Amino acid sequence: MFTMLKLVPPHGWRAVWWELGIVTLGVLIALAAQQVVESLRERSVADQTRHAIEAEFNDNLTSLALRGRAAPCVARRLSEVRQIMVDWGKTGHFKTPQWVAQAPQINLALPRYQAAVSAGRLALLPSAEQYRIGAIADGFAEFTRIQSQERPVWGRLRALQMGADALSAGDRMMILQALQDAATLDYEARIAVRQQLPFAKDAGYEPDFTAWRDGAGRVYAGGRFTPSICSAIDTPPDEANRAQITPLPL
Protein backbone atom coordinates (compact mmCIF):
# COMPACT_ATOMS: atom_id res chain seq x y z
CA MET A 1 0.00 0.00 0.00
CA PHE A 2 1.06 3.50 -0.72
CA THR A 3 1.40 6.00 2.09
CA MET A 4 -0.02 9.45 1.44
CA LEU A 5 2.64 12.05 1.96
CA LYS A 6 1.54 15.11 3.85
CA LEU A 7 3.34 18.19 2.48
CA VAL A 8 3.84 20.78 5.13
CA PRO A 9 6.03 23.88 4.64
CA PRO A 10 8.97 24.07 7.00
CA HIS A 11 7.47 27.02 8.87
CA GLY A 12 3.86 26.09 8.40
CA TRP A 13 1.14 27.33 6.08
CA ARG A 14 0.57 30.43 8.14
CA ALA A 15 4.04 31.68 7.29
CA VAL A 16 3.44 30.96 3.59
CA TRP A 17 0.21 32.92 3.53
CA TRP A 18 1.85 35.74 5.42
CA GLU A 19 4.70 36.00 2.91
CA LEU A 20 2.27 35.73 -0.01
CA GLY A 21 0.18 38.52 1.50
CA ILE A 22 3.24 40.73 1.92
CA VAL A 23 4.25 40.19 -1.73
CA THR A 24 0.72 40.86 -2.99
CA LEU A 25 0.46 44.00 -0.90
CA GLY A 26 3.81 45.21 -2.26
CA VAL A 27 2.66 44.64 -5.83
CA LEU A 28 -0.59 46.52 -5.19
CA ILE A 29 1.25 49.42 -3.60
CA ALA A 30 3.66 49.58 -6.55
CA LEU A 31 0.77 49.56 -9.05
CA ALA A 32 -1.08 52.24 -7.10
CA ALA A 33 2.05 54.38 -6.93
CA GLN A 34 2.58 53.95 -10.65
CA GLN A 35 -1.02 55.02 -11.31
CA VAL A 36 -0.55 58.10 -9.12
CA VAL A 37 2.64 59.05 -10.95
CA GLU A 38 0.95 58.51 -14.33
CA SER A 39 -2.07 60.54 -13.25
CA LEU A 40 0.15 63.40 -12.10
CA ARG A 41 2.09 63.26 -15.38
CA GLU A 42 -1.10 63.32 -17.44
CA ARG A 43 -2.44 66.21 -15.39
CA SER A 44 0.78 68.14 -15.99
CA VAL A 45 0.66 67.43 -19.73
CA ALA A 46 -3.01 68.46 -19.82
CA ASP A 47 -2.21 71.75 -18.09
CA GLN A 48 0.68 72.44 -20.47
CA THR A 49 -1.55 71.65 -23.46
CA ARG A 50 -4.34 73.85 -22.14
CA HIS A 51 -2.03 76.83 -21.58
CA ALA A 52 -0.32 76.44 -24.98
CA ILE A 53 -3.65 76.33 -26.82
CA GLU A 54 -5.00 79.23 -24.80
CA ALA A 55 -2.06 81.45 -25.77
CA GLU A 56 -2.35 80.42 -29.43
CA PHE A 57 -6.12 80.95 -29.55
CA ASN A 58 -5.87 84.35 -27.88
CA ASP A 59 -3.31 85.43 -30.48
CA ASN A 60 -5.49 84.20 -33.32
CA LEU A 61 -8.59 85.91 -31.97
CA THR A 62 -6.70 89.16 -32.53
CA SER A 63 -7.02 88.55 -36.28
CA LEU A 64 -10.80 88.38 -36.02
CA ALA A 65 -10.92 91.45 -33.78
CA LEU A 66 -8.83 93.48 -36.23
CA ARG A 67 -11.00 92.36 -39.14
CA GLY A 68 -13.98 93.58 -37.16
CA ARG A 69 -12.35 97.00 -36.82
CA ALA A 70 -11.86 97.19 -40.60
CA ALA A 71 -15.42 96.10 -41.42
CA PRO A 72 -16.76 99.66 -42.02
CA CYS A 73 -13.93 100.36 -44.47
CA VAL A 74 -14.62 97.15 -46.40
CA ALA A 75 -18.36 97.87 -46.53
CA ARG A 76 -17.75 101.41 -47.79
CA ARG A 77 -15.40 100.21 -50.54
CA LEU A 78 -17.83 97.55 -51.70
CA SER A 79 -20.55 100.20 -51.89
CA GLU A 80 -18.28 102.49 -53.93
CA VAL A 81 -17.34 99.71 -56.33
CA ARG A 82 -20.99 98.80 -56.70
CA GLN A 83 -21.80 102.38 -57.71
CA ILE A 84 -18.95 102.32 -60.23
CA MET A 85 -20.46 99.22 -61.81
CA VAL A 86 -23.87 100.88 -61.96
CA ASP A 87 -22.40 103.91 -63.72
CA TRP A 88 -20.48 101.68 -66.11
CA GLY A 89 -23.62 99.77 -67.02
CA LYS A 90 -25.67 102.95 -67.60
CA THR A 91 -23.16 105.10 -69.50
CA GLY A 92 -20.40 102.77 -70.63
CA HIS A 93 -17.93 104.83 -68.58
CA PHE A 94 -17.03 105.47 -64.95
CA LYS A 95 -14.74 107.66 -62.94
CA THR A 96 -11.55 105.62 -62.65
CA PRO A 97 -10.75 104.80 -59.02
CA GLN A 98 -7.14 105.19 -57.96
CA TRP A 99 -7.28 102.87 -55.00
CA VAL A 100 -9.64 99.89 -54.75
CA ALA A 101 -7.33 98.02 -52.32
CA GLN A 102 -8.62 94.82 -50.70
CA ALA A 103 -10.00 93.47 -47.43
CA PRO A 104 -7.19 93.25 -44.85
CA GLN A 105 -5.37 89.93 -44.71
CA ILE A 106 -4.35 89.02 -41.16
CA ASN A 107 -2.99 85.51 -41.05
CA LEU A 108 -3.45 83.10 -38.18
CA ALA A 109 -1.92 79.71 -37.45
CA LEU A 110 -2.59 76.69 -35.24
CA PRO A 111 0.71 74.76 -34.86
CA ARG A 112 0.27 74.15 -31.12
CA TYR A 113 -3.30 72.95 -31.50
CA GLN A 114 -2.36 70.70 -34.42
CA ALA A 115 0.61 69.28 -32.49
CA ALA A 116 -1.67 68.52 -29.53
CA VAL A 117 -4.14 66.74 -31.82
CA SER A 118 -1.39 64.71 -33.51
CA ALA A 119 0.12 63.67 -30.18
CA GLY A 120 -3.26 62.76 -28.68
CA ARG A 121 -2.86 65.26 -25.86
CA LEU A 122 -6.33 66.72 -26.33
CA ALA A 123 -7.76 63.41 -25.10
CA LEU A 124 -6.37 64.28 -21.64
CA LEU A 125 -8.82 67.21 -21.37
CA PRO A 126 -12.48 66.91 -20.31
CA SER A 127 -14.85 66.16 -23.20
CA ALA A 128 -16.68 69.49 -22.87
CA GLU A 129 -13.38 71.36 -23.11
CA GLN A 130 -12.35 69.27 -26.11
CA TYR A 131 -15.60 70.26 -27.84
CA ARG A 132 -15.07 73.98 -27.21
CA ILE A 133 -11.46 73.85 -28.39
CA GLY A 134 -12.41 71.92 -31.52
CA ALA A 135 -15.26 74.31 -32.34
CA ILE A 136 -13.00 77.35 -32.01
CA ALA A 137 -10.29 75.72 -34.13
CA ASP A 138 -12.91 74.97 -36.82
CA GLY A 139 -13.90 78.65 -36.70
CA PHE A 140 -10.29 79.67 -37.29
CA ALA A 141 -10.07 77.29 -40.25
CA GLU A 142 -13.22 78.84 -41.72
CA PHE A 143 -11.83 82.35 -41.27
CA THR A 144 -8.61 81.29 -42.99
CA ARG A 145 -10.63 79.90 -45.91
CA ILE A 146 -12.51 83.20 -46.25
CA GLN A 147 -9.31 85.23 -46.31
CA SER A 148 -7.63 82.96 -48.85
CA GLN A 149 -10.62 83.23 -51.19
CA GLU A 150 -10.78 87.01 -50.82
CA ARG A 151 -7.28 87.64 -52.20
CA PRO A 152 -7.91 86.77 -55.87
CA VAL A 153 -11.40 88.29 -55.79
CA TRP A 154 -10.14 91.71 -54.72
CA GLY A 155 -7.33 91.38 -57.25
CA ARG A 156 -9.96 91.23 -59.99
CA LEU A 157 -11.78 94.23 -58.54
CA ARG A 158 -8.57 96.25 -58.74
CA ALA A 159 -8.78 95.94 -62.52
CA LEU A 160 -11.13 98.94 -62.28
CA GLN A 161 -8.05 101.08 -61.66
CA MET A 162 -7.18 100.58 -65.33
CA GLY A 163 -10.17 102.66 -66.40
CA ALA A 164 -13.17 101.92 -68.63
CA ASP A 165 -11.28 102.41 -71.89
CA ALA A 166 -8.89 99.60 -71.04
CA LEU A 167 -11.65 97.13 -70.11
CA SER A 168 -13.98 95.07 -72.27
CA ALA A 169 -17.53 93.83 -71.87
CA GLY A 170 -16.08 90.50 -70.79
CA ASP A 171 -14.02 92.30 -68.14
CA ARG A 172 -17.19 93.97 -66.88
CA MET A 173 -18.87 90.59 -66.35
CA MET A 174 -15.76 89.28 -64.61
CA ILE A 175 -15.66 92.28 -62.27
CA LEU A 176 -19.40 92.02 -61.55
CA GLN A 177 -18.88 88.41 -60.50
CA ALA A 178 -15.87 89.40 -58.40
CA LEU A 179 -17.96 92.09 -56.69
CA GLN A 180 -20.64 89.56 -55.81
CA ASP A 181 -18.01 87.13 -54.50
CA ALA A 182 -16.30 89.86 -52.47
CA ALA A 183 -19.61 90.89 -50.90
CA THR A 184 -20.46 87.29 -50.03
CA LEU A 185 -17.05 86.61 -48.51
CA ASP A 186 -17.20 89.84 -46.50
CA TYR A 187 -20.59 88.77 -45.18
CA GLU A 188 -19.09 85.43 -44.12
CA ALA A 189 -16.16 87.22 -42.47
CA ARG A 190 -18.51 89.48 -40.49
CA ILE A 191 -20.50 86.46 -39.35
CA ALA A 192 -17.28 84.73 -38.25
CA VAL A 193 -16.23 87.77 -36.22
CA ARG A 194 -19.62 88.25 -34.60
CA GLN A 195 -20.04 84.59 -33.70
CA GLN A 196 -16.52 83.42 -32.92
CA LEU A 197 -15.45 86.22 -30.58
CA PRO A 198 -18.41 85.81 -28.15
CA PHE A 199 -18.23 82.00 -28.31
CA ALA A 200 -14.51 82.06 -27.57
CA LYS A 201 -15.02 84.52 -24.71
CA ASP A 202 -17.60 82.22 -23.12
CA ALA A 203 -15.00 79.43 -23.34
CA GLY A 204 -12.38 81.60 -21.61
CA TYR A 205 -10.48 82.93 -24.64
CA GLU A 206 -10.09 86.58 -25.62
CA PRO A 207 -7.95 88.53 -28.11
CA ASP A 208 -4.44 89.20 -26.81
CA PHE A 209 -2.82 92.04 -28.74
CA THR A 210 0.61 91.57 -27.14
CA ALA A 211 2.07 89.48 -29.97
CA TRP A 212 0.35 91.68 -32.54
CA ARG A 213 1.92 94.85 -31.15
CA ASP A 214 5.34 93.18 -31.13
CA GLY A 215 5.10 92.27 -34.81
CA ALA A 216 2.88 95.02 -36.23
CA GLY A 217 5.90 97.06 -37.27
CA ARG A 218 6.78 94.35 -39.80
CA VAL A 219 3.44 94.92 -41.54
CA TYR A 220 2.47 98.54 -40.95
CA ALA A 221 4.75 101.55 -40.78
CA GLY A 222 4.55 102.97 -37.29
CA GLY A 223 3.27 99.67 -35.90
CA ARG A 224 -0.39 100.69 -36.03
CA PHE A 225 -3.21 98.78 -37.70
CA THR A 226 -3.85 100.98 -40.74
CA PRO A 227 -5.38 98.81 -43.50
CA SER A 228 -5.03 100.46 -46.87
CA ILE A 229 -8.69 99.88 -47.72
CA CYS A 230 -9.52 102.59 -45.19
CA SER A 231 -7.86 105.13 -47.53
CA ALA A 232 -10.29 106.96 -49.81
CA ILE A 233 -10.90 105.41 -53.22
CA ASP A 234 -9.40 108.47 -54.95
CA THR A 235 -6.18 108.30 -52.94
CA PRO A 236 -3.03 108.06 -55.10
CA PRO A 237 -1.51 104.56 -54.78
CA ASP A 238 1.82 105.83 -53.45
CA GLU A 239 0.04 107.65 -50.65
CA ALA A 240 -2.37 104.80 -49.89
CA ASN A 241 0.50 102.33 -49.76
CA ARG A 242 2.58 104.49 -47.46
CA ALA A 243 1.44 102.64 -44.35
CA GLN A 244 2.23 99.21 -45.80
CA ILE A 245 5.70 97.78 -45.25
CA THR A 246 5.01 95.53 -48.26
CA PRO A 247 2.99 97.64 -50.74
CA LEU A 248 -0.28 96.22 -51.96
CA PRO A 249 -0.11 95.43 -55.71
CA LEU A 250 -2.06 97.70 -58.03
Task: Quick: pLDDT tens for 73-129.
Answer: 999 999 999 999 999 999 999 999 999 999 999 889 999 999 999 999 999 999 999
Quick check: is 97 in a domain?
Answer: yes
Quick check: is 141 in a domain?
Answer: yes
Which tens digits make up the pLDDT trace of 225-244?
889 999 999 999 889 888 77
Domain that holds residue 100: 13-206+215-243
Q: Long-range contact list for 31-39, CB < 8 A, 24+ apart?
A: none
Which tens digits make up the pLDDT trace of 158-199?
999 999 999 999 999 999 999 999 999 999 999 999 999 999
Angle, helices 13-91/111-119, rounded to nearest 10 degrees: 140
247 band by pLDDT with thresholds 50, 70 and 90: confident
Quick check: is 4 in a domain?
Answer: no
DSSP conformation class of 95: P
Cα Rg of the chain (Å, integer): 32
| Apex 143 CA angle, 54 and 136, nearest 5 | 35
Which tens digits make up the pLDDT trace of 118-147?
999 999 999 999 999 999 999 999 999 999
Q: How far is 195 from 138, CA to CA, in rounded Å?
A: 12
Quick check: is 250 in a domain?
Answer: no
Lowest-confidence range among 31-45, 46-60, 144-158, 168-182? Answer: 31-45
Quick check: is 7 in a domain?
Answer: no
Quick check: is 189 in a domain?
Answer: yes
41 band by pLDDT with thresholds 50, 70 and 90: low
Q: How far is 231 from 6, CA to CA, in rounded Å?
A: 104
The structural domain count of the chain equals 1
pLDDT at 217: 81
Q: How far is 218 from 55, CA to CA, in rounded Å?
A: 21
**Whole-number Cα distances in Å, 108 to 111, 164, 216:** 10, 37, 14
Q: How far is 202 from 208, CA to CA, in rounded Å?
A: 15
pLDDT at 148: 95
Q: How far is 103 from 69, CA to CA, in rounded Å?
A: 11
Quick check: is 146 in a domain?
Answer: yes
Quick check: is 234 in a domain?
Answer: yes
